[in-house]
Amino acid sequence: MSRLSKIAAPVAIAAVLSSLALPAMADGYYRHHHRYDGGDVAAAGAIGLLGGALLGATLASPPPPPVYYDPPPVVYAPPPPPVIYQQPAPVYAVSMPAAHQAWCSGRYRSYNAYDNTWVDNRGNLRPCQSPYFGG
């Protein structure tokens, strides 16, 4: 069933029923005059029916078609650059003479023979320089 016929049927029924009631209401006033009405009521009913049908069809226009929105384009981040590992340069320990280590250990309580440093009163690392090793 089309939308127009769904709307037009109740409008037509309402117009017919209202046009039937109009002559009954006017009966008492025109009873003794015997004038010919000329069909004005029927014309008004037909015009009302036509106007209602047109207005109903206009107001009941079909809904707009559904709108499809494309999803946003997928943007991929560029791949990270390859990680290049460089092998650290080899560190060769310098062998300290035993006399140098003994002299530094005797002179500084905080002497570290591994890296040949000692800690001064302010917390700074200092290299140990002895008469046995110029290092």
Q: Provide block-wise average pLDDT over 10 residues at a time, the chain (135 residues).
A: 70 72 56 63 85 84 84 91 89 83 94 92 94 78
What range defines the domain where residue 110 resides?
98-127
Q: Answer yes or no: is 132 within a domain.
A: no
Helix (H) or strand (E) holding 117: strand 117-119
Structure confidence at residue 26 (pLDDT):
56
pTM: 0.32
Q: For residue 7, give both structure tokens.
A: 């709307």
Amino acid identity for residue 3 in this structure: R
Q: Answer yes or no: is 76 within a domain.
A: no
Q: Answer yes or no: is 16 within a domain.
A: yes
Structure confidence at residue 20 (pLDDT):
62
Structure confidence at residue 8 (pLDDT):
73
Domain count, the chain: 2
CB-based contacts of 112, cutoff 8 Å, min separation 6: 118
In this structure, the dihedral spanned by the alpha carbons of residues 89, 90, 96 and 98, taken in order and rounded to 10 degrees, is: 150
Q: Answer yes or no: is 133 within a domain.
A: no
Structure confidence at residue 81 (pLDDT):
92
CB-based contacts of 11, cutoff 8 Å, min separation 6: 49, 52, 53, 56
